[in-house]
Structure 1
Amino acid sequence: MKKYNIIKLLIVFIGVGLTVSCDDFLDKPAEDSYTIDTFYQNDEQIYQAVNSIYNSPWYDFQRGFMKIGDVLAGNIIFDSGDGYTNFTLNNSDADIANASASLWSVNAYCNGVIENVDMKSSADVSQTVKNTVKGEAMVWKAMSYFYLVRCFGAVPIIHDNAEIIANNTSTTLRRNKVEDVYQYIIYLLEDAIDLLPEKNRTGRIDKYSACGLLAKVYLTKSGYGMSGSRNESDLTNAANYAKMVIDESGRVLEPNYEDIFQLKSNFSDESLIAWHWTVGSQWTSQNSLQSDLSMTNFSDAVQSWGNWVYPTIDLQTAFDESAGSLIRNNLDTRRKATIMMVGDHYDYFWVEFGGFDYNWDNDADGQYEGALAFASGTGSNCAKHIVGRLADAEAQGYDALDRMHTPLSTHILRLADVYLVYAEAVLGNNSSTTDAGALAAYNAVRERALHSFYEPAASFSFDDIYKERRLELALEGDRWYDIVRLHYYMPEKAKTMITSQERGYWAGLDDLYTYDDASNLEINSLKATGITDDDFTIPFPEVDLSLNPGLMNEPVDFDFSSIGY
């Protein structure tokens, strides 16, 4: 495991030369790398300075993104014996350490960009471009803190890396209170909204990206420190910012849900904030999720070892599906785009063979010539985050894949999420709502998913919106944070949501799928038991605690006057 201490990662980007990734999704820089003193000389270089924040610093968070966001939440299983499925996490877990290191790297990189844009830019750089790039960095910094506070609770607020270096306080930093961290995120996003244009270059963060994130932050913050209900002012702010995105951004939902998660939609109009990955020589600029999530030998170009990574029985049940049946309901188009199950055909996977059929074919003379072993304990595999074979990428305009490299964008905030944030914020503390605007947003998401099965809802409740969020955002690294924010103000309901889930696996699937014999079919049940309030906060990595003992002390107030707020 890499021994990266949290504070070293907080300060590393100030004292080194700036490396700029050649990211094809944006304007390709003329050179691969520059030093800080010779970069920032014109508008194009300023844009290029922020390119890397869209991928490389986030790289080591990818596995934690799935394990924290979806395994803890009961949507997916990486290994039924791991601490994420069983809630036996400890601070020696490598993926927690990598997630923490990655998030602090983002923070450090953003601080470096913000400082250098102000201090190093030449007179040839326009103020509009400087504002835009600073706004992008502020949104990414806010996003890193949004993950940090929801994962670890109270964390240090690092506003100025250079000050930490000058004062030599890197090993004595204290955590700041959760409510201060949320307030800091809000200040960052408010500043970003003032700086960012309404339309930015393709794939980049704009004003409405910041508004959408701020709406979600307010919705989350609304329950913190509350009991049984949420702060009405925060709910109003959440609704207002979400409404700005819905009414003013000009963005629309992607008509076909499964298209969002294919290469052809890397820059979907629905995507407000995304990691944009590349395939090249620079390690950490690539998407490696296919390697973890797809079946062994699923691709001829990308290594994969995901035979024992699969969606849960509980998530299938939420979609009204069961691997214990050979008949698919197919009521919700999101299910097939999220979960592969027996009977599914994908025309965008294995295109040179006429598409991919998930048919549990383990015979050497079958469609896959023995290449694939269908080993999922729940009779399903992941569909999201998968590109497939080289021919599949080429069919969508991308000519490169490599061992752990795909260029598939990871959408972190989508328009559909903002629609549901708006609907939930309007619902607020009510048991249900018939508000026309909230219903319009809620039903728009449902209509795309249900197609011919769609009937408009005349009202919806809290449980309705929470289920809708689960189905819409499943396997997108988000569900755990919904449960965390529920735990803020309804801890017992959050615990029940976890303990009621089925996290086990099926026995007898081979007999069912091969011989249509269900006589041995049964669920080997696994339930998360003994869940406590402490389980809703991820433990700090041991390397951070050993080198920075101040992190074990009680959190303190943050002095906002010291940074002009």
Structure 2
Amino acid sequence: MKIYNIKTFIIAILIMGIGVSCDDFLDRAAEDTYTIDSFYQDDDQLFQAVNTIYNSPWYDFQRGFMKIGDVLAGNIVFDVGDGYTNFTLNNSDVDIANASASLWSVNAYCNGVIQNVDTKSGSEVTQYAKNTVKGEAMVWKAMSYFYLVRCFGAVPIIHDNAEIISSNSSTTLKRNKIQDVYKYITLILKDAIELLPESNDAGRIDRYSACGLLAKVYLTKAGYGQNNTRNEDDLAEAAKYAKLVIDQSGRSLHPAYEELFQLKGNFNTESLIAWHWTVGAQWTSQNSLQSDLSMANFSDAVQSWGGYVYPTIDLQNEFDEDATSLTRKYRDTRRKATMMMVGDTYDYWWTEMGGFIYNWDSSEEGMYKGSLSFVSGTGANCAKHIVGRLADAKAQGYSDLDRMHTPLSTHLLRLADVYLIYAEAVLGNDASSTDAAALSALNAVRARALQGNHVDATEFTFDDIDKERRLELAFEGDRWYDLVRLHYYKPEKAKQMIAAQNRGSWDGLDDLYTNDNDANLNLRELFVTPSDVDFVIPFPEVDLSLNPGLMDDPVDFDFGSIGYN
């Protein structure tokens, strides 16, 4: 993966083409057949301009998306020594550099699309297309800033890349205050809501996508700068926008949770915002997460090295599972869809061989004849983000897989998330709630997960919502940001929650699983207590070396300079 710096991605927009594609709705023009001035001539071309933002600029954020979102949070371990598991991150980490560069590239691309829609559109372009494309770009821009502020804290607000380039100020940018960044995000999203249609083509952002993201931003913003409480006005806004999605979008929870993360679920209606990937010649068009997360030789078409990437003991405990038991409980359907454990079977993997069984037998005489290596330190491997073999993809209507390429969509905001945002916003600063609408939202999420084991809750607390969020959204790059949000107003609680997690591993699992012998079991515990500074990721050194202004104290942003009061 490439490492960029803040100056590079500021000027990148001047030389970007239309980018990469994702099958039908992400078609693009051939890059050698157009210029910017001659391209935005009809609705189809305008939509092609925004299609790229559904994948390519985000590509280098993928590994950071998991490491920041789930490894820091204690859901998963990539490598104990990489700094994410034990909070020893520094600004030379390559995945931080790639994540930062990717997020700024998204912002630059969005700014370019928004500007070009206004200045380059031909006479045949409809107002509907202009509004929709601008709205989509605004939501993606807001999403990039939402990640930036929760990762790095105070960051520069870059509203117009061209202006910064013309003034030659790209290496002297100052950070803006966190509260201004959140205000900027809300203003962008409110503009997007006015522009976007109520419904859009499958997989594309619509008005309710923007409403859902705005609800999540307000819920996060509500705690910033507070002390053991949250801003009531922001909580009310979070509840309002979440309720709009729940009541007016026409969406409902998909009945089968596991299908959301299969190829058949790429364009499911529960997904409000997603990256949509493809397998093609353009390197940055693809989903590479299967390579990082699945066992070697799990696929005949996709390279993988994730055998030693494992879900934590702590997350297994949250799902009420125990890797040292040979009997699975299966009380929560999300567990099996999130992580595979001994005894699990999957009919949508290894379909040409009758399905996949996670049975740990990797001997030459066993089911997999030595091709797979079951080496997880916790007796589990990742299930989300895994497509499987070529036959598995074909069985779900996709013809291609390759090396580090799958076309599996990455869902960033789902309806279930909005349900839980609504419940938490209604709870607000109270110790518990019996609000009927909030309970309905919470119980809908739990009912799908627990199915026959579900009993409707009649009251809920913050801890109930927080646990539900962790189980529902595990391995979706989201958990860390819940902890950052909590740290804004209850820092000690956030640190204590992390300190209580066992991020360690087991010795002797191989003997247990292959010989039913538990005599050699030994738990290598790993507990880590973060400090307050660990809740802000350090700026990459490549950015700091070229932009010393990033080390200065944050400054106020002049909203009047961009037409906002």
User: What amino acid is the match of 1:465?
Assistant: I
The Cα offsets for residues 212-248 of structure 1, whole Å up to 9 and x where unpaired, read as: 0000000000000000000000000000000000000
- How far, CA to CA, are the matches of 2:532 and 2:19 in structure 1? 42
- In 2, the alpha carbon distance for the partners of 1:76 and 1:17 equals 35
Deviation at 1:211, TM superposition (A): 0.1
Structure 1 residues 297 and 166 mapped into 2: Cα distance closer, same or farther (>3 Å)? Answer: same
Does 2:539 match 1:551?
Answer: no
Structure 2: distance between partners of 1:409 and 1:122: 32
Please report how far the alpha carbon of residue 351 of structure 1 lies from its aligned counterpart in structure 2 after TM superposition.
Answer: 0.3
Partner Cα distance (2:43, 2:432) in 1: 50
Structure-2 separation of matches of 1:516 and 1:111: 59
Alignment TM-score, normalising by the size of structure 1: 0.99
Q: Kindly indicate whether the alpha-carbon contact (under 8 Å) linking 2:9 and 2:105 is maintained by their aligned counterparts in 1.
A: yes
Residue 266 of structure 2 corresponds to 266
1:255-404 mapped onto 2 (5 Å cutoff): 255-404=255-404
Structure 1 unaligned runs (5+)? none
**Contact 1:66 1:475 survives alignment (8 Å):** yes
1:12 counterpart = 2:2? no
2:246 counterpart SS class: helix
When residues 27 and 498 of structure 1 are mapped into structure 2, their CA distance, relative to the original with a 3 A threshold, is closer
Give the letter aligned to residue 480 of structure 1.
W
Is 1:532 aligned with 2:531? yes
Residue identity matched to 2:372: L
Q: What's the offset of the Cα at 1:29?
A: 4.2
Q: For 1:92-171, list aligned pairs within 5 A.
A: 92-171=92-171
Match of 1:251, as an amino acid?
A: R
Partner of 2:500: 500
SS at match of 2:285: coil
Identity across aligned pairs (percent)? 73
CA distance in 2, matches of 1:554, 1:21: 38
Q: CA deviation at 1:31?
A: 3.9
Q: Would the aligned equivalents of 1:390 and 1:399 in 2 still touch at CA under 8 Å?
A: yes
| 1:429 lines up with 2:429 in the alignment | yes
Q: 1:491 to 1:243 in 2, by over 3 A?
A: same
SS of 1:340 mapped into structure 2: strand
Does the 8 A contact of 1:74 with 1:85 survive in 2?
yes
In structure 2, the partner of 1:450 is 450
Superposed CA offset, 1:401-443 (max 9, x none): 0000000000000000000000000000001100000000000
> Offset at 1:307?
1.1
Q: CA deviation at 1:309?
A: 0.5
Judged with a 3 Å threshold, the aligned counterparts in structure 2 of structure 1 residues 333 and 313 are, in CA distance, closer, same or farther, namely same
Query: Structure 1 30/552 Cα, relative in aligned 2: closer, same or farther at 3 Å?
Result: closer
Name the CA distance, whole Å, in 1 between partners of 2:412 and 2:43: 27
CA distance in 1 between counterparts of 2:426 and 2:522 reads: 42
Q: Deviations over 1:193-227 (max 9, x none)?
A: 00000011111000000000000000000000000
Per-residue CA deviation, residues 296-315 of structure 1 (Å, 9 max, x unaligned), is 00000000000110100000
User: Shift of the alpha carbon at 1:32?
Assistant: 5.1
1:17, CA displacement in angstroms? 5.0
Aligned length: 563
Residue 186 of structure 2 corresponds to which residue in structure 1? 186
Q: Which residue of 2 aligns with 1:516?
A: 516
1:31-70 superposed matches below 5 A: 31=30, 34-70=34-70
Kindly provide the CA deviation profile for residues 70-100 of structure 1, in whole angstroms up to 9, marking residues without a partner as x.
Answer: 0000000001222000100000000000000
Q: Structure 2 counterpart of 1:536, which letter?
A: F
Q: Which runs of 5+ in 2 are unaligned?
A: none
Q: Distance in 2 between matches of 1:177 and 1:32?
A: 39
- Kept in 2: contact 1:146–1:217 (CA 8 A): yes
For 2:25, the equivalent position in structure 1 comes to 26
What does residue range 245-256 of structure 1 map to in structure 2 within 5 Å? Answer: 245-256=245-256
Indicate the SS of the match to 1:136.
helix
- The residue type equivalent to 1:258 in the other structure is E
Separation of aligned partners in 2, 1:362 and 1:214: 48
SS in 1 for 2:272: strand
Superposed CA RMSD: 0.9
**Residue equivalent to 2:484:** 484
Per-residue deviation at 1:167? 1.0
How far the C-alpha of 1:527 sits from its partner, in A, is 0.6
Q: Is the 2:10–2:165 contact (alpha carbons within 8 Å) kept by the matching residues of 1? A: no
Does the 8 A contact of 1:77 with 1:85 survive in 2?
Answer: yes
Structure 1 CA distance for aligned equivalents of residues 21 and 539 of structure 2: 33
Partner Cα distance (1:271, 1:151) in 2:
23
How far apart are residue 23 of structure 1 and its match?
2.2
Q: 1:116-153 CA deviation, whole Å, 9 max, x = no partner?
A: 01000011100110000000000000000000000000
Amino acid paired to 2:54 = Y
Question: Aligned equivalents of 1:21 and 1:78: distance in 2?
Answer: 29
Q: Give CA deviations for 1:243-294 in whole Å, capped at 9, x if unaligned.
A: 0000000011010000000000100000000000000000100000000000
Larger CA deviation: 60-69 vs 508-517 = 508-517
Distance (whole Å) between structure 2 residues aligned to residue 17 and residue 342 of structure 1: 47
Look up the match of 2:541.
542
Cα distance between partner residues in 2 of 1:59 and 1:459: 41
Letter in 2 for 1:558: F
Contact map agreement 1:25 1:276 (CA 8 A) in 2: no
Kept after mapping to 2: 8 A contact 1:17/1:36: no
CA distance in 2, matches of 1:493, 1:359: 38
Letter in 1 for 2:261: F
In 2: Cα distance, 1:408 partner to 1:270 partner? 15
- Report what 2:406 is aligned to: 406
